[in-house]
Structure 1
């Protein structure tokens, strides 16, 4: 008996779930408020814990065409590019974890997931306004009067999730940080940044990371600063180069030259959500940032979304419509072990820096290196599929 799955949100988490269930007996419909594809947008780094399952879903060739295998990560002093620490991510590192780190555009990963999900899986222009649950199914209502009916509903609608608000009572928290993401043509970017490495500059309250994407044709960057008076919309504010140059006055000439070369800059607020109390209720469950907004340590936000999708698919794959609610509950219980532990590790990093009384870039570098040594195997070596019904209880939280 097939399970009809209605997914709200066609970001990385939602499309990854559709891709993971493609070819199964289940029917998956993904509702997305945007009428069409997002702008080219930002870059991201996939770590081995996401690359391995994506390859098993058949995305390997598509990723190889657009991604840049990352040889290592370098932490540079914020003002003069002095190398403070380097972590190799090719060679023995890639062999240890069975896959490389891959840098690519979010849009390229999204396109590969959409292709794997199959034609017609995503329905654009569906702004979801409500969800009704009964003993034998769910109905998801949209602003235009259309509805989608299924056996289960999955909220993959991001950090400001409507579906999360329907199963949790929480207060909205204003943005505490502003995140800029941008792209520059490789030929206009500093030569240092065309190399297949992630370069990181860190200060006391702000941060920059840069790496090549689009098979080396572009350089992507991320920069975070404390939030100002306004809360920027996710994709509406562009052309923020002047703001970046002002926010990072006195910083690395290399990073500033990259900002100046940018052909696109997006800007939005990063909201501080604590642990989400309820991940599943009856026939409804949460996925990705809707369930667990993730701090950027270990480059895990997108990677944990992929893990969520793979783990949920493992729980749903053998379930019937009568068993689907119980499958969601098992998924939520197992995944929380891992994402709660990841949050604890991130908080341990922050606490270690504060306890030392030194929040300099050098102190951050030392603490992050120790954390990666201690937790790398647990983070990068994890198999989300093992969280399914055949997995070992408790292994997800180690």
Structure 2
């Protein structure tokens, strides 16, 4: 059972069902996502997706940006440019691809049998016993399976069941939007990723839908209130005020927005516990991350293919060991990426510089030093392969957790 039909959950379902492992995806939304925002896929995720047979479907609407350009916030002056297209193809075997999340989700849905995704199922409780795991939903229905995977995003319920979490107010707000390319010609031009950098905020954008639309992301410092998701009103006006005085190209992109969503960004430390018994986390539920190098969706895809590989040959008796193996493999990689982003922020704090130039230089240095590890390694190469033996993992109370004994029932409920 997979809780959450986002990129991590649907990639896992596609990888499992390709290998003949039945999967049921429980999604709280009433139906497939609308067009929404864009996604930037890098080679480390494109190769696994192609092996799943999705290459042709993604190419139909995807765009191959030639470079990522860092621009100064007020005058569009070029601060740094990193090549993406042919250089990435030569170095890593694939060029990055930008496309709508809805196009990626559609390709993943088409890769799984009909009925795999059950919409309108909001998971509220997990119970594990010697026969497997039961997921209880808010409508009273129950779903039983051998394994439950929490792929339910950065505000994961399943993560809160495995970890004792304390609420921390968001430090930043993340706005994501979509505009017609014809309404924002200054921000589009040729196929490139553009990032306007300020001292404490930025706007980035890239083409999607075959170049007909442009997806953008903007971050600003958070105020006193956490907006949650999709709750703030007057978002375009708020964005225009937050970026008052910025270049006409950046403001034109905001003014052209056809849709804008807003989230509170919580700067999480690495999640202590990813698995317990036959329950585990994947994607942003396991490793919420800041949006450097566009790795949040790409690492979710890596999680999915490694997890599917570990579960392919697992039995009811060995499923917990397969999950522990997956966690060890993936933590090595995601912890390394977390350290890279921490290093960028630490360098800026140490220098005391928060200018656009300082931001651009810090990101460029980090990417140059870690590019091969980020984009060139598949999920196995950087993870170090399969360890020889499983180790117990600590649950919230610190006790070693493995497969529950016969007849034992473990119930965990949301904190708060």
Partner Cα separation in structure 2 for residue 79 and residue 289 of structure 1: 33
1:290 equivalent in alignment to 2:281: no
Contact 2:267-2:289 at 8 Å conserved across structures? no
- Which residue of 2 is the match for residue 341 of structure 1? 336
The structure 1 segments of at least 4 consecutive aligned residues displaced by more than 6 Å after TM superposition are none
Calculate the TM-score normalised by the size of structure 1.
Answer: 0.94
List aligned pairs for 1:130-149, cutoff 5 A. 130-149=125-144
- Which residue of 2 is the match for residue 13 of structure 1? 8
Partner of 2:246, secondary structure, is coil
- Which residue of 2 is the match for residue 55 of structure 1? 50
- Report the Cα offset of residue 106 of structure 1: 1.1
CA change 1:30–1:203 in 2 (3 A) is same
Partner of 1:130, secondary structure, is strand
1:75 equivalent in alignment to 2:82: no
- The one of 284, 297, 300 equivalent to 1:302 is 297
Deviations 1:210-257 (A, max 9, x none): 111011010111000011232223234455111111000111110001
Partner Cα separation in structure 2 for residue 154 and residue 383 of structure 1: 22
Partner of 1:175, secondary structure, is coil
CA change 1:151–1:12 in 2 (3 A) is same
1:374 equivalent in alignment to 2:369: yes
Partner Cα separation in structure 2 for residue 71 and residue 186 of structure 1: 17
- The one of 359, 378, 381 equivalent to 1:364 is 359
- Which residue of 1 is the match for residue 224 of structure 2? 229
Calculate the TM-score normalised by the size of structure 2.
Answer: 0.90
How many residues are matched? 388
Residue range with higher mean Cα deviation, 87-96 or 218-227: 87-96
- The one of 131, 154, 163 equivalent to 1:159 is 154
Unaligned runs of 5+ in 1: 1-5, 394-398
- The one of 8, 24, 36 equivalent to 1:29 is 24
- Report the Cα offset of residue 207 of structure 1: 1.0
Contact 2:13-2:25 at 8 Å conserved across structures? yes
Partner Cα separation in structure 2 for residue 255 and residue 159 of structure 1: 28
Partner Cα separation in structure 2 for residue 386 and residue 358 of structure 1: 36
- The one of 240, 246, 249 equivalent to 1:251 is 246
- Report the Cα offset of residue 390 of structure 1: 5.7
- Which residue of 2 is the match for residue 196 of structure 1? 191
Contact 1:194-1:211 at 8 Å conserved across structures? no
Partner Cα separation in structure 2 for residue 208 and residue 371 of structure 1: 20
- Which residue of 1 is the match for residue 117 of structure 2? 122
- Report the Cα offset of residue 23 of structure 1: 2.6
Partner Cα separation in structure 1 for residue 175 and residue 295 of structure 2: 18
- Which residue of 2 is the match for residue 112 of structure 1? 107
Deviations 1:90-149 (A, max 9, x none): 112222111111111111111111111221111001011100001231000111111111
- Report the Cα offset of residue 35 of structure 1: 1.1
Partner Cα separation in structure 2 for residue 389 and residue 154 of structure 1: 23
- Which residue of 1 is the match for residue 276 of structure 2? 281
Contact 2:65-2:192 at 8 Å conserved across structures? yes
Contact 1:183-1:264 at 8 Å conserved across structures? yes
- Which residue of 2 is the match for residue 396 of structure 1? none
Partner Cα separation in structure 1 for residue 2 and residue 192 of structure 2: 35
Partner of 1:27, secondary structure, is coil
Partner Cα separation in structure 2 for residue 204 and residue 387 of structure 1: 33
